[in-house]
Amino acid sequence: MAGHALHIGLNHVDPAQYDGWDGELQGCLNDAASMKALAEAAGFSTSTLIDGEATSVGVVSALASLAAQAAPGDLCLVSYSGHGGQVDDTDGDEDEGQDETWVLFDRQLLDDELRVAWSQFPAGVRILVISDSCHSGTVVRDDVDTRISRGMPDEVCSRDNELRRSTYRTVQAQLAGRGEVEVASSVLLISGCQDDEVSFDGAGNGAFTQSLLEVWAESAFQGDYPAFHAAIVANMTTQQTPNLNSDLVTDPAFLTQRPFTV
């Protein structure tokens, strides 16, 4: 068994692609570096995509490469730190009428696209997704208490949906029927907040990533994934509730394992 990791972090997006908005954040590159260090200490081979490298094509290609490397029994860790967004759902697979997204350098990446990416991994592969972003409860910055949220501002989100409507609808049309594509691997998501919440940024790490690192305590943590999630929630100091989503876990034994154990 082997461990493979991909760490994605964006402190900025391309303002030319978002009608002048650069999405400035402070802690996302630090989050990617911290998760990379955690993964390497746990025995993973790692790669990173930051800022201009983290385009929609770059991330989709990196996930496909990760899938090609992975063999049954392997653990693949994918961490994302950046803005989260929402795009109007056109295929009816979202109860709230919105696809959750990762806000990448050039455009938003839809949760349907991520599901297709997970479907490329062989059966028996474990995938752990750590998403420190807003609206991330099921994605498999506003001022509050001087902190900045990692949510695309409403006006920017609306404008992006308007300007890139044809792009997102084309992607959704291409994925029509594939949003429910079979995922043979086990995908476990631990995210910074619920779908209707925001995740907060920080000068060092994001609030969620900071709590995760404190609970992990440089590998001192000894519990399973539900216990890890519960400890992160208990350790949070901001008004956000990290989520544990196991809807795509096909092997229940995955949940009983110690986090980041290859």
Residues annotated as catalytic are 83, 134
Cα angle at 52 between 36 and 118, to 5 degrees?
60
Q: Measure the CA–CA gap between 29 and 257, rounded to whole angstroms.
A: 28
Token pair for 119: 């479907």
The number of CA neighbours under 13 Å toward the Cβ of 175 is 25
Q: Measure the CA–CA gap between 73 and 173, rounded to whole angstroms.
A: 34
Task: Compute CA 169 distance to the chain's CA centroid, rounded to the nearest angstrom.
Answer: 22
Task: Compute CA 37 distance to the chain's CA centroid, rounded to the nearest angstrom.
Answer: 18
Residue 53 near residue 73, CB atoms below 8 Å: no
Token pair for 242: 């990290």
Among 143, 138, 13, which residue's Cα sits nearest to residue 82? 13
Residue 2 near residue 71, CB atoms below 8 Å: yes
